[in-house]
Amino acid sequence: MGQETSLIPAKRIENSILFVRGEKVILDEDLAFLYGVSTKVLIQAVKRNKERFPPDFMFQLNKEEFASLRSQFVTSKLKSGRGGRRYPPYAFSEEGVAMLSSVLNSLRAIKVNIEIMRAFVRLRKILASHAELARKLEALEKKYDSQFKVVFEAIRQLMAEPERSAKKIGFQLREKRATYGRR
């Protein structure tokens, strides 16, 4: 059986998966893009079927999470020209995405859901292999204790997630504002 070409590139889906509140989620606007509908249509379909979306399937980001995501991705005004979103986005867990296929009843929704589920599985495998690598490194470290301490420390630093700084990017003026008086 030949492999069918994907509707959406796997990399696009994988880049849409974020970690929020310790969960792997996809935001409503990314899902809307993948499904080929507007974000408004997606949210309306979800709200008409809200009993299918408990808090562990879907939740709305709070203002702090939304602000953090905006600064992370340096988002600006949306194409609408009205200044962007007026409310924080909804985040859908893997189970919430699976439930969307029953709410958005189209052939495209089904195909996109299959690709999204595959992306979640790939991500889970990558995270599992990372954990397995850490276990193997720890076993080697115990076995070869002090001989290779520097090597093991270097490997751990390479495996560690980079620290995210809270520094603001860009030029910031730190002068007092000029006062102009009338004569």
CA distances (Å), 169 to each of 71, 72, 75, 77, 172, in order?
10, 11, 14, 18, 9
pLDDT in tens, 34-53: 888 899 999 999 999 999 99
Residue 61 has a pLDDT of 92
Give the percent of the chain with pLDDT over 90: 15
C-alpha to C-alpha distance for 163 and 165, rounded to whole angstroms: 6
Q: What is the mean pLDDT of the chain?
A: 75
Nearest CA-CA partner of 33 in 93, 119, 105, 116: 116
Q: What residues have CB less than 8 Å from 77, skipping those under 6 apart?
A: 83, 84
More confident of the two residues 178 and 136: 136
pLDDT score at 22: 84
Interval 52-101: pLDDT, tens: 999 999 999 998 888 887 776 655 443 444 556 778 899 998 888 888 87
- Which residue ranges form the domains of the chain, and what is each CATH number? 10-125 (3.10.260)
Across the range 3-9, mean pLDDT stands at: 56
CB 91 within 8 A of CB 61: yes
User: Given a cut of 60, is residue 1 above it in pLDDT?
Assistant: no
β partners of residue 58:
92
